[in-house]
Structure 1
Amino acid sequence: RNAGAAAARGEVLAYTDSDCMADPDWLYYLIGTLVSGDYAGVGGPNISPPAENWVQACVAAAPGGPSHVLLTDTVAEHIPGCNMAFYRWAFDTVGGFDIEYRKAGDDVDFCWRLQQEGHVIAFSPTAIVWHHRRFTLGAFRKQQAGYGEAESMLRFKHLIFFGPTGTAKWRGQIYGSPRFSWFINRPIIYHGIFGEGFFQSIYPSPQSEIANYLSSIEWFVLTLFLFGLGIFLPVLRIVPYLMLGGTLCVALSYMLRARIEPKFDTVPARLLVMFLAFAQPLVRGWNRYFTWLEFKRTPRGVIGTHEKMPSGKAGRGNLRRRNYWSEEGVERNALLKSIFQLLEEEGWSYSADTGWKEWDIQIYGNFFWSVILQTVTEYHGGSKCLTRVRLRYRFVTTTVIINLLFLAMIAYRDLNSGSVDLRILIPYVIFLLFLGTRARRLKRRVAEIVDVAAYRLGLQRIGKRGAEDVIR
């Protein structure tokens, strides 16, 4: 997309994809909407053309396809990359598309960055492109896996737009058939008083949060866990069956409400749509989590390589709190910039504060731990200032899961035999020692990075007593 923008000479940049066919009047309606208001960009719907086989018809009716997200009838929060146009000045304002997104997500990132700059994206319902859906189940699975990876990458950059499970939190309405709507929240029709309203419209109900949870990979993993736990605790055996039933109800709802082309609308096609509605969030969630874990891990070689300073004292002393003194007005922002530069040079994985976090940097280590870094600067007259840095551990999801598994096994053995099974307890103690060692090693490496970053700026590290003397 960036290469196309560089080659283009016009005032407006319009985009579609190689698997799309633009309507003959596509640009007419697209640009007409763009110039009709104070907009930076515009997009329109992408519609599946007639399917060539029954599998493609089912994929077109299944969840997970690219769609627009609308804040109002005319303003969009997101427009898919297969149908979008922007002024060149808007494109240049946000620096174009982020080349990090190679499978999907570049359009989402672009729209969010443009709106964060205060610009508005319009929606033109008549600017249509025909977007071919995937022809095979394998291609559909690969597409959803790519979407899951993109969601994980977007989460690093736009953390405020994501929930705790890693799914996007849209402010607007995602257009398409809401899951579970057939059971608990049907679309609303405004009829007017006594049915005399003009232009009676169907207003789609918001997507059901209940359905999202019931079909999520987190719910499915919890179901499997309770299935396993039910082997040892008979009282729990009914629970996972009820949970799986809820998940299947969501897929069943989608199957019943799906719009399949009439010539392909058969019982096998409906069953395939049900299977796709069941499997799609699992495939997407699986790849989202594993990409998230991969991005949240710094290579072992990077962690194992220690910093070198002339004093030879990098990373020593109190690992929780570090204090740095400056006589020249060098404060926390300069230190953070130096830390970012060092992290990039060495190849660390990290996230920076987006304005909604209590920390400044979260530095990812291994599959078990990360370290969060907070800074504050105290000013002591003139150009004298003291910058304090605090380092804290943070669990990674895998740490919590493994600990819960160990504790569940220990609790089960204790409840059934009345004594603790050393065959479980001893490995768990060894695992805890392993966790503690890895955590301290990671924290020491982060402390080394902070020390070296401060040294580059000419900051003098002082101990706790020295900091107290400065305050007095």
Structure 2
Amino acid sequence: MEALCVDGKFFRAGGSRIAVRAVTYGPFPGGWPEDFSTDFQGIAAAGFNALRLYEMPTRNLLDAALAHGLRVMGGLKWPQAVDFLKDERILASAKVSLAEALRPLEDHPALAAVFVANEVPADLVRWMGPVKVRKALESVITLGKELRPGLLWCYGNYPSTEYLEPENADFTAFNVYLEDEGAFRKYLRRLHHIAGDRPVMISEFGLDSRRNGLERQAETLAWGIRAMREEGTAGLTIYAWSDRWWNAGLEVKDWDFGLVDRDGRPKPALPAVAKAFAVKPPITPDAKISVIVCTRNGRPRIGACLKALEKQSLSAHEVIVVDDGSSDGTAGLVEKQFPGAILIRLEPSGLSAARNAGAEAATGEFVAFTDDDCEPDRDWLAGLATAFAKGWDGVGGPNLPPPPKDAVEAVVAAAPGAPSHVMLDDEEAEHLPGCNIAVRRTAYFDIGGFDPQFKTAGDDVDFCWRLRDKGYRLGFAPTAFVWHHRRPALRGYLRQQIGYGKAEALLIAKHPRRFTSNGDAKWEGFVYSGGPVRAVEGSIIYYGQMGLAGYQGVVDRMQPLRPLDTRFDNLLSRTQLDLVSNLQPRIRAWFRCRGWWRPAKSHDDSSGLGPGIEFSLWSANGASREDFLEDLLAQGWQPGESSGTWDVEKSGTRILLAAERGDGGGRSVLARVWGTVPSALGQFRKRN
């Protein structure tokens, strides 16, 4: 069995792209069964190709999985539902457990990935601090990659901590339980943006048949599988194989999420899942897309671009290469090696003029643009066609840096200033970079194409603004990506940023209302820079009042940058990245408006009240955090702000509560108080 790898927004095994179809397995009352054959045979027969566990597998389990063609995603089991940062021994013990669990498994081919944790409770994340928790999870992933670099590593996240994505995870994994198909699809589209460049995997999706009925469970899983396929997720996980479940030291008897019941008998959901897996992928809408590649002295790189266009799953209506005055023999290479491409030769005229020349020659209903330093994914055109079928006037997708070959490439990939899309919401774009944009031919000529004054950059920004000013709408196709090679040297990268600054000066002159007095673009939407959306120092997080919002995320206007590739994460690379990250905005600002860039003041996400007084309230009968909050509200305490770091306040005193969860029925509620400790909390402790 070949190793599972990341391939852009998808997974790959060997030379083939693979959609992961997993089911959760265990933990069971009494531990693992003596013989896995019956279960694994049924799992494979239903169309699954992977298992997700909540503990690390034994070698016997892996051997049985391999015999049935199943990959295994293990889970590191450790106390994640307590304040694990207060006692450093907890995290240290988890890392020791990981090393001990991996040692006997050696390089077993069935082990594909490891979840380092699963759903750290939102109230505890807020209690410990989101950035600190994220860094703790990242430290476990870092250790795992050092021990087993051939495995994929991730964290099992969920909507209540959207902001907790580890920057060094290999893919984004989310547990999502939504019973409405429309709402589920909308959230899948959101996850593509949270993931940034990474694949999206739904790591839990299911429905309790005890409360909802057997038939509704079957129907929900069927449309869930269809939605996950059509919305471009790289993998999905059905929760769960069996109704038998063991959690927090107890057998769970009031949930029935399984595809088989407690006696191992198939429920209607099992054949429904098998049938949904067997459905062929949707047919790509028929679309005549003319692809235009503009180049100047692109001989070293244009061959890879055109070869990628030849391998498209949806063939281009035509490929037009516009040679904008090359002097390195680019035109000759295209004529000799790619006779099927239409070649247009120009005197040096600039990027916008070249794009207009290509569009004038195009005969397709749609014109798509990419650059000579890009290699479109094989499903690029198919993804654009699917997006156009939804009624958008223009569409585009991500541009991803390929895995760096050396430290300099890694630094440039993580540096600021890369082409980025700007989203008004999870589907409609305000801006799409010119290296991955397509538009209806009628709309293109209605606005007059690209403005020739933009010779090297800025043309796509002006183009998108004019499209939207005319009432045209831009859609985002999250899996229609291109591999975009960045500048191979730091000097070339900085020269590019100078060019961007000069182009922005032209944009300011043409669109002054879209810029601040300091020369910064006034985007209406959220700027995506490729890294996963995550809490960083200064992030503003929407928790909801008293931290009870079901969907809690970062509300900043810009996505964090891509992380530095772990293979090249060393002191020299970090120093170089810090240097160019400081130079880039200053250089760009100088050539944009002859002014020096000043960093914006960050939001302080601390309470501003000092450390506070901390203590715990033990409840033998399992009184919850919500129970305490309800009593406080009844006594006149008021909820804090939705982005605040406390729950309730009264007469200058503020309180934050979080619940620690362990085995058994008891529960410990942690309290942090700024001000006078209310006597009510002491009364709660005595009463419970």
- Give the alignment's TM-score, normalised by structure 1: 0.48
Q: Select the structure with the greater relative contact order (CA < 8 A; seq sep ≥ 6).
A: 1
Task: Name the structure where strand makes up a greater proportion of residues.
Answer: 2
Task: Name the structure where helix makes up a greater proportion of residues.
Answer: 1
- Give the alignment's TM-score, normalised by structure 2: 0.33
